[in-house]
Amino acid sequence: MLKLKSDLLSAVTFRHLANKQAAIDSLIVSKRADRAQTLWDGKKGSKSGEAAFLEIHTILCEMCVSTEICNYCEQNEASDVEHIYPKTFFPERTFLWDNYLLACKTCNTRHKLDQFAVFAPSGSSTAVEMERGKQPPSDDAAFINPRIDDPLKYIQLQLTDSTLHLAIHPALTDPRDIAKAYYTLKILQIGTRKAVVEARKAALKFFQHRLKRYQSLLGAKTYDDLEEIVEDPDLVDRTLGFEVERQRMKEATKASILNYAHPTVWREMQLQHQSLRKIKQLFEDMPEALLWS
């Protein structure tokens, strides 16, 4: 999980959301959740609603941590507009731009659902999970919000023991930070979900392979070297100057790393490379790769 890039909506779409939200906020508290659900279900029922959510989806896609990939598990297609604060408990955030991110169906409808945790009272270190039918005791989230928080500070990828689980960051000391990490992992189950963990292992191998390829490209002297390194002669264009072609392949190799799923694995390889024998050597040979993001 990584912090999302931020972006702004057009004034027209921003106003559209504000109007929808005002229709919810004008009701008494007990009526808001039902109204929020109805308005959300019908959000594309008008021309203006359709246009607004097309723009919202487009911008959220651009904000994804990797190409249209779920911002929670970093594996599946980012198909759903997910409310970080669930609209069931926080209807006053149903049409709030800052409360959206794209997630996959599995994360959104099988794990997150309307689960959430908050600190109660606000500002304390005591976190409680939301209970259906009860009003939230505060809106002080005990959940990592990747629109504003840097998840890498809260949870760490277990690279040194090769499990590739996500766990509470060992450097945390503030009980509030520990609670945020704990409830995020508990609710999303992204730390140990088997399919996600296996995909992270494959991503780690891919990134190592591409780093080695990049390293080989640095030492390439001939077109034959390039063909051998990229393992496909058709990819090498001998009509281009050798240096131009070598540079093009270096850029393509770097792009293949940055466009791959599981960008957290890549970021953690950079952050933890000193503790990882094989990876440490690769980054020491190519320190520029420590800055690729």
Q: Which residues bind Zn ion (CB under 5 A)?
A: 70, 72-73, 76, 104, 107
Distance CA 150, CA 65 (A): 12
CB of 75 to Zn ion, least distance (A): 6
| Residue recorded with tokens 């024998």 | 277
| Long-range contacts, stretch 30-33, CB < 8 angstroms, 24+ apart | 32/91, 32/92, 33/87, 33/88, 33/89, 33/91
**Smallest separation, CB 165 to Zn ion (Å):** 16
Complex with Zn ion: residue 24 or 65, whichever CB lies closer: 65
User: Toward Zn ion, which CB reaches closer, 16 or 112?
Assistant: 112
Q: Which is nearer to Zn ion, 154 or 214 (CB)?
A: 154
Please state the closest distance from residue 76 (CB atom) to Zn ion, in A. 5
| Paired tokens of 63 | 């904000």
**Nearer CB in complex with Zn ion: 107/141:** 107
DSSP codes, 35-103: HHHHHHHTTTSSHHHHHHHHHHHHHHHHHSSSTTB-TTTSSSB--EEEESS-TTT-GGGTT-GGGEEEE
- Minimum CB separation from Zn ion for residue 152, in Å? 18
